[in-house]
Every structure is written in C-alpha cells, then in structure tokens.
Amino acid sequence: MDSRSWWVLEPDPPEHGLPDDLRARDRFGGRDCGWVAQMRPFVRHFTRPGQCVFDPFCGFATTLLAAALEGRQACGIEIDADRAALARERLRRHGVDAPIAVGSLPDTAPPRAIDLCLTNVPYFGCRWPQDDTQGAAAAGQLYLERDYAAYLERLRDIFHGVRAALPDGGFCIAMVENVVIDQRMLPLAWDLGRLLGGLFVAHEERLLCYPREAVALPAATTRGDRSHEYALIFQKARETICIASTQAELQAIEQAGFAFELYGSFARWLQRGDADSPRLPADADLLLPDDEARFNQLLHWLHERHYQLSLWGEPILPPVRLQQLRAHWYLRAQRRDRLGRLVRLDLCLASQAAEYLRGQPDSAR
C-alpha cells in the first residue's frame, strides 16, 4: 500500500470477477458486487500471510477471494442465504476454503478467529427486491431498512460485534460512500465515520476512484457520477487522554463549584506518577453525589463547554435520570481541543461505585 490518499483502481481481470452465471442467479443481478482489486492492497498491508480476514457483509465473497489470493485465511457473514450459496460456489471454483455463516452480527459470530475486518457496507436506500420483504432474509437485511437512523443504529450494533471479535490492535476498514437518494444527499460515509469513531480509534482514509468518462453538466448543476468511495481505516486501540488538559478541566469543574472525587486508573496514575506507570490512562473516573439536580447542572455546564455526552456510545443531552445512569454505570463526557488532545471523563454515582468496589481487590480501587 502506498502513501497516496487517493487511488485510481484498475478493473478486475475477468477471472477474478463474479462469473456471469452466478450474477444471473442473484435477485439483484450482482449489482452490489465489489472489486477484488479494491481489497487486495488492504489485505497485504494490514495482515501477515496466514492471518484471517473477515467480512461481516460478505455478499459474493469478493473480500474473501482477495484474502485467499494474497495467501490469507478468510471468513464471512452474509444475511442472505441465497447470496451465501453463490459466494460459496464462487470460492469453490477458485479452490478457496473460507467459511461463510448465514446471519448477522452480533447474534451470529464470525466462523473463525479473525485478525482484520475488511468490508463494504450495504448501502442505505438500495432497492432490494420487494418480494423479499416477506422472506426469511427480511429480518435484519439492512437493504430493507426504511429509516436512516435505525439503519445507522443497526450498523453500530454490527460494528460493536466486529470490535468484540477483533484482537487488540486489529484494524477495521469499512468502504462506504455518501449516497444520493431522489436528489437528496445522505452523508452516509461521514455518519459511519462518526459512528466508528465511537468504537475504534480513527487512523486514516483512502479515497478509491473508479475511472469513468466525465460528462459536461449544465451550469449550476451539482450531480456527480458517484465513482468514488472512502476506505475508512480504524483500529481497535486504547486512546489515552491528555493528562495536562484533563487536570486543567478537573480544576475548572472544581472552581465552578461541583464536588467530585477521583478514583480508578487516573487517580492511581496521579498517585504513582509518570515514572512508575508509563501506560497512560484512557479516562478519568469521577464519583459524584447522588443528587439528580446537581448532576444535571454539571451536565449542562459540560455541554456548554462543548463536551459530547453519551451513555454506552449513544449521544445524550441533559436532563438524565439517576435511574438511567445507574443502569449504565457511568456517563461519558469527552472533548477534544484544537491540538486533537482528548479529555474523557466518566461520571458515576459515588453510592454505586462504593457498592461495586466492595467486591473488588484493593489494587482496583
């Protein structure tokens, strides 16, 4: 893989494309089948020979074939049983042994241990044949999702499953483009980027360009030919916070009159100091009194300072009920400054933490 942020791809040689007879058997005419050539550089760069590449939306097994051609193992999940059968047939013709499970994450697990997730997401607004709305494939088929927010939520659940399956340090690469439906543009690539940013650490992007003849447009017309895609590169990694900014923020919270106690890894790190624990903390845990009104005042204060507030990755705005907070254990407040430095505060109730800590060894306190 080279350093250019955009690549112009060469179409696949015929022997790597989806065979015509298999394309003809697909209800969708294989319209959403990608290119092997688009996947190979990522397979080479992000895995070693023998490691396993996983595609949670494996379709016609294009990613799996790319992995096999690069000497890697592969496995996939596909929700449509007929598609999975076509994909197996395609792999069989190439002599590739790569298991494909029918179903969907998180309920269906990857068929083997994985090292890299490399995928092309099913696009929102795709006109999947309507006769399938009654079929078994309908449940969970993202092509049939009618609501954009629900579609994004499902994607988040699925990538949550990817995160759980990846080893620490493993990469998750998703190919996606912004879509135009009835002349309305949905920023799907950017929404997916934001969503993946809540689960992984963003690393890079590549713009994949598919060569096409350009046509002149009448003045002031904006229509494009959608011949590019983003490859969004994320990593399952532990992002550490900026100690100096976190300390400055904690001081500001105190000065604003909010009482809290520090505990957990950040408190321990402060006690022991830099030299003994080179592993920087990933958050600062704050214990707060069980006072709903005061808790919400703090949330408003943080919100005004441009903190993003979330419960288990789901964005939230005050007021928050203490009951809701107890069910999630903590509320996350995070912000980034203009140097990209992260402050991440996990707010939880002192009473609940005391209950939890009673069951823990001393070293965890």
Contact set with ligand SAM (CB under 6 A): 32-34, 56-57, 59-63, 77-80, 83, 104, 120, 122, 140-143
Nearer to ligand SAM, 76 or 264 (CB): 76
Q: How far is the CB of 126 from ligand SAM (least distance, A)?
A: 8
d(CA 126, CA 345): 39
Task: Please identify the residue of the shown chain whose CB is closest to the bound ligand SAM.
Answer: 59
Strand intervals (E) in 83-157: 100-102, 116-120
- Our CB check for ligand SAM shows the closer of 101 and 302 to be 101
Nearest distance in Å: CB 108, ligand SAM? 8
Nearer to ligand SAM, 80 or 285 (CB): 80
Closer Cβ to ligand SAM, 32 or 292, answer by number: 32
CB 81 within 8 A of CB 137: yes
Provide the minimum distance between the beta carbon of 315 and ligand SAM in the complex, in angstroms, as a whole number.
Answer: 23
Please identify, using beta-carbon distances, which residue of 34 and 110 lies nearer to ligand SAM: 34
Nearer to ligand SAM, 128 or 307 (CB): 128
Buried-exposed string 304-336: b where 16+ CB fall within 10 A, e elsewhere? eeebebebeeeebeeebebeebeeeebbbbbbe
Q: Measured between alpha carbons, how far is 249 from 343 in angstroms, rounded to an integer? A: 8
> What are the backbone angles phi and psi of residue 136, rounded to the nearest 5°?
-65, -30
Nearest distance from residue 140's CB to ligand SAM, in Å?
4
- Order of strands across the sheet that contains 52-55: 6-8, 201-209, 228-235, 171-176, 116-120, 52-55, 73-78, 100-102
**Helices 148-165 & 188-197, crossing angle to 10 degrees?**
40
The distance of closest approach from Cβ of residue 193 to ligand SAM in the complex, given in angstroms and rounded to an integer, is 17
User: Distance between CA 177 and CA 230 in Å, rounded?
Assistant: 6
Residue with tokens 């197996």: 88
CB of 178 to ligand SAM, least distance (A): 15
Cα–Cα distance for residue pair 186/114, rounded to 1 Å: 32
